[in-house]
Structure 1
Amino acid sequence: MIEVDLDRFRPALLRHCYRMLGSVHDAEDAVQESYLRAWRSLDQFDGRASLQTWLYRIATNVCLRSLETAGRRPLPSGLGGPSPEPEPGLPLDVAWLEPLPTDPALIVEERDSVRLALVAALQILPPRQRAVLILRDVLHWRAAEVASALDTSTAAVNSLLQRARTLLTAAGLSDADVNYALDDDQQRLIDRYVTAFETADIDDLVLTLTEEAAWEMPPNPMWFVGRIAIGQFLRTKAVGNRTSVRLEANGQPAVAVYNEDGAAHSLHVLTVTPQGIRRVVVFLDTAVFELFGLPQLTERTMDDYS
């Protein structure tokens, strides 16, 4: 058997499976299954394609098999229009899209390929359209390579790609003006947002947002568009004396927020443009803290209970 180092492809395969599945946990399982299949059939690898391409082919088909029984993972904005009133809503029992911790080594193009809006948009596509779009437009495979990987024809691949692009265009989820290398003004804007949320200064918080900003909060199905609606909602929930940890998720700035008692509260993923913060996705299920290696209780609080 030839000696190969398959592990060097693991981070890229994880991002690929995450785009397909919308879940870090499911992506990790898919990568593990892909490696098991690869090791079992390594003696059949003929070298006509690169080793990485061969692994992507295996991983794509593992993900497609997983999607036969799994539903799509949306954000609230993928389920319907914005909420008309800032009334409390009940969490839905939905498998929601999960945020992805960002590898600091990712280049701009790789960060763009895992941005939250894109991964959320991919979830509206049927599985095979999703696979074709990722392989063609993200990984830049030739149509013939995709056809071989999916055991179909080049004509079928082109048809699936056209339909996928049409659906994504209709969804209107372009982030063409999103900045990944934030300038000093944008860094200060994020600082201002964080301080305003920590201190419950809602008037200042909404001023960090663009006029058409969106605010969504899985697992709560409510979501809001516009400064006025967002401000009205936040004023019903405003609580100060919070603390936070800055990090990155999906190649975007993010903030993990803790309550005054040190308990995890929420994880905010921010879409920042030159005009301001255009979208905030607030993950209220604090189980996502585990993905980023963050505790459910801050060290200060854990010391208090020890």
Structure 2
Amino acid sequence: MTVLAHEADDEFLLRAEPHRRELLAHCYRMTGSLHDAEDLVQETYLRAWKAYSGFKGESSLRTWLYRIATNTCLTALEGRQRRPLPSGLGGPNADPTDDITFRDEVPWLEPLPDPAADPSEIVGSRESVRLAFVAALQHLSPRQRAVLVLREVLQWKAAEVAEVLGCSTAAVNSLLQRARAQLAAAGVREDDVLPAPDSPEAQELLDRYIAAFESYDIDKLVELFTADAVWEMPPFDSWYRGPHDIVLLSKTHCPAEGPGDLRFIRTTANGQPAAAVYLLNRETGRHEPLQLQVFDIGADGIRHVVAFHLPSFEKWGLPAVWEAPGA
């Protein structure tokens, strides 16, 4: 009996483990939190492991795992606040010379590391984990999120979604219609295709952006942003629009004091170009984690920067302190 149980456990892990990454992306879309998504994936696997002996193969294992993950997320989201970005709080863009307010009591949207091997490994398109898309999902009810993700991202049939949610196909179609309308109102466009994170256009813009910050030549940033570019940096609750205000914000509030104070390491997050930013600690002489900046880059320039203040870049496999190449 014990041998058979071990064999069943081994079979479950062998078959289920390849789906872990895509389930993480699914739970992240639902919650907007990497940490919550990791916990919910673990809960999904625990529930699936306990129920595996009753899995009859009437659907694929992948579909079965998604059903469990979706319901696990819906249960976890009951009574929880949505996870916004500062621009999603409903307030106007701020004056860059005003004081900035740290709001750690707000459950902010979090960034998602991309697979180390290839960002394109994220299930669905890059657009399905873009910050703009995941932030817009936060305006939907949990059931609307589930319907939109299952129907639009995973391409499930309405009847399959209805079975997961325990409702009629008519209810699913109604939830989907309302979810689409709310996304459209939030400005999310399905045809808004961005350059790949490693495209020459994105890399050239990032070269110039990083050079401007590392050399402390902040005025050069003006020519890199689009006219209506947005900058925000949770857990500070303000957001800023336009190259002039973004540059003035950097001059007013950036903790760097001169060339070399900031150092950047390129990475990707949410299927978008990103950079880990390290700030010189003058007491230790080391460059320590400051922000993870995630970029929305269009054909006409940098359109959006979300600068997440993070205590470490461990989830991105990056060093605890920046060291000069060859050091």
> Match of 1:212, as an amino acid?
D
The whole-number CA distance in structure 2 between the counterparts of 1:274 and 1:193 is 15
TM value normalised by structure 2: 0.87
Any conservation in 2 of the 1:73–1:97 contact (CA below 8 Å)? yes
Pairwise CA distance, 1:110: 2.9
Any conservation in 2 of the 1:17–1:27 contact (CA below 8 Å)? yes
Any conservation in 1 of the 2:197–2:203 contact (CA below 8 Å)? no
Aligned-residue RMSD, C-alpha: 1.9
> Match of 1:115, as an amino acid?
R
2:139 matched residue in structure 1: 124
The whole-number CA distance in structure 2 between the counterparts of 1:199 and 1:96 is 31
Matches within 5 A, 1:122-201: 122-174=137-189, 176-180=192-196, 182-201=198-217
Pairwise CA distance, 1:182: 4.6
Pairwise CA distance, 1:10: 0.5
Any conservation in 1 of the 2:289–2:312 contact (CA below 8 Å)? no
Pairwise CA distance, 1:191: 0.6
Does the C-alpha gap of structure 1 residues 249 and 90 become closer, same or farther in structure 2, counting only changes over 3 Å? same
The range that moved more, 106-115 or 257-266, is 106-115
Any conservation in 1 of the 2:44–2:69 contact (CA below 8 Å)? yes
Does the C-alpha gap of structure 1 residues 190 and 299 become closer, same or farther in structure 2, counting only changes over 3 Å? closer
Any conservation in 2 of the 1:210–1:276 contact (CA below 8 Å)? yes
What is the SS of the residue equivalent to 1:101?
coil
2:304 matched residue in structure 1: 279
Runs of 5+ unmatched residues, structure 1 = none
Identity, % of aligned positions? 52
Does the C-alpha gap of structure 1 residues 135 and 156 become closer, same or farther in structure 2, counting only changes over 3 Å? same
Q: Does 1:13 align with 2:23?
A: yes
What is the SS of the residue equivalent to 2:125?
helix
Q: Does 1:297 align with 2:321?
A: yes
> Match of 1:106, as an amino acid?
S
The whole-number CA distance in structure 2 between the counterparts of 1:194 and 1:42 is 50
The whole-number CA distance in structure 1 between the counterparts of 2:199 and 2:53 is 50
Does the C-alpha gap of structure 1 residues 122 and 288 become closer, same or farther in structure 2, counting only changes over 3 Å? farther
Q: How many residue pairs align between the two structures?
A: 300
Pairwise CA distance, 1:287: 2.9
1:259 matched residue in structure 2: 279
TM value normalised by structure 1: 0.92
The whole-number CA distance in structure 2 between the counterparts of 1:110 and 1:124 is 21
Runs of 5+ unmatched residues, structure 2 = 282-286
2:106 matched residue in structure 1: 94
The range that moved more, 109-118 or 90-99, is 109-118
The range that moved more, 185-194 or 164-173, is 185-194
